[in-house]
């Protein structure tokens, strides 16, 4: 089983920031996985995306699927996988290991010819026409894993090295936002009335306000624009202040939040 470990503390690239800005407003909402697919489709060619939550204590849960080719195929294949074939997935050995939750993110590539289990290969790869998968997964709690699986089908061929590199670049924001989505969906199921009443407040402002309660109004305005992907110069123009003032507000906000850079701001938002 070929598994890479990704250092999520590396400074994020522009692609990371762009995808994060797209996802912020949809976390916890029905269109979250569709937005993930839409964002990724600008940078990587793929067939399907499947977001899963694994636990050693119960069967895995499906957080959503999306597709650039056939949404029905993506959803049907996910349910076939969840019908028991997940036990044959090579990543099961890692998910079953007794390890502490940490900040490491794991990447595993699985091509159709790599799969030894015939039933799993036939049902989840050959019948739906899938030839390649890149699985991005992270241990987010004592018994919980998040997996974002990105697939290519036979009409597209295998991922090349540059496409794999792009997916690895955005892997930390995909798994972090997926975990936040899982938490919000669970909360909505537990307190549906309160969540419906709160939905009148714009999603991004509601979540950011909760995460950044210590910030002044100006610090909040600066951070909210950073999360939406704007540069310091663009923020200065929008707020009618000097870029140096933007930098000062950003510095003060980061100090209050106990973070050192804008990647940690995304992590703070999605944690």
Full pLDDT tens readout for the chain, 271 residues = 455 555 544 544 567 777 877 887 788 888 999 999 999 999 999 999 999 998 877 788 999 999 999 999 999 999 999 999 998 998 887 777 655 555 578 899 999 999 999 999 999 999 999 999 999 988 887 778 899 999 999 999 999 999 999 998 888 889 989 988 898 888 776 654 444 444 434 454 555 555 556 778 888 888 877 776 677 888 898 889 999 999 999 888 888 887 777 667 776 666 5
* pLDDT the model gives residue 196: 40
| In the chain, alpha helices (H) | 14-24, 32-41, 71-82, 92-96, 118-121, 161-190, 192-198, 203-211, 217-227, 232-239, 243-257, 262-270
* pLDDT the model gives residue 255: 87
* pLDDT the model gives residue 271: 53
Query: How many angstroms separate the most distant Cα atoms in the chain?
Result: 63
What domains lie within the chain, and their CATH numbers? 3-191 (3.30.450.80), 201-270 (1.10.10.10)
What value, to the nearest 5°, has the Cα angle with vertex 218 and ends 202 and 10?
80
Please report the DSSP string for 92-122 in residue order: HHHHHS-----S-EEEEEEEGGG---HHHHI
3-state DSSP assignment of residue 214: coil
* pLDDT the model gives residue 8: 46
In this prediction the pTM is 0.72
pLDDT tens per residue, range 25-60: 788 888 999 999 999 999 999 999 999 998 877 788
* pLDDT the model gives residue 232: 84
H/E stretch holding 62: strand 61-67
């Amino acid at each position: 089983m070929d598994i890479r470990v990704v250092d999520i503390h590396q400074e994020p690239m522009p692609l990371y920031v762009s995808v994060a800005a797209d996802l912020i407003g949809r976390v916890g909402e029905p269109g979250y996985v569709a937005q993930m697919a839409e964002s990724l489709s600008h940078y990587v060619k793929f067939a399907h995306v499947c977001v899963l939550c694994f636990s050693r204590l119960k069967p895995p849960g499906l957080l959503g699927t999306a597709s650039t080719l056939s949404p029905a195929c993506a959803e049907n294949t996910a349910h076939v996988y969840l019908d028991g074939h997940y036990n044959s997935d090579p990543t099961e050995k890692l998910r079953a290991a007794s390890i502490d939750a940490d900040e490491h993110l794991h990447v595993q590539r699985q091509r159709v010819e790599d799969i030894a289990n015939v039933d799993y290969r036939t049902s989840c790869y050959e019948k739906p026409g899938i030839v390649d998968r890149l699985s991005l997964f992270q241990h987010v709690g004592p018994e919980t894993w998040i997996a974002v699986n990105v697939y290519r089908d036979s009409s597209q061929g295998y991922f090349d090295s540059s496409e794999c590199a792009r997916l690895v670049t955005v892997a930390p924001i995909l798994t972090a936002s997926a975990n936040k989505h899982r938490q919000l969906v669970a909360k909505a199921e537990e307190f549906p009335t309160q969540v419906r009443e709160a939905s009148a407040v714009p999603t991004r402002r509601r979540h950011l306000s909760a995460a950044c309660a210590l910030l002044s109004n100006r610090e909040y305005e600066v951070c909210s624009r950073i999360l939406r992907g704007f540069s310091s110069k663009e923020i200065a123009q929008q707020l009618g202040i000097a870029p140096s003032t933007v930098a000062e507000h950003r510095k003060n906000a980061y100090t209050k939040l106990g973070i050192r850079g804008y990647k940690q701001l995304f992590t703070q938002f999605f944690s």
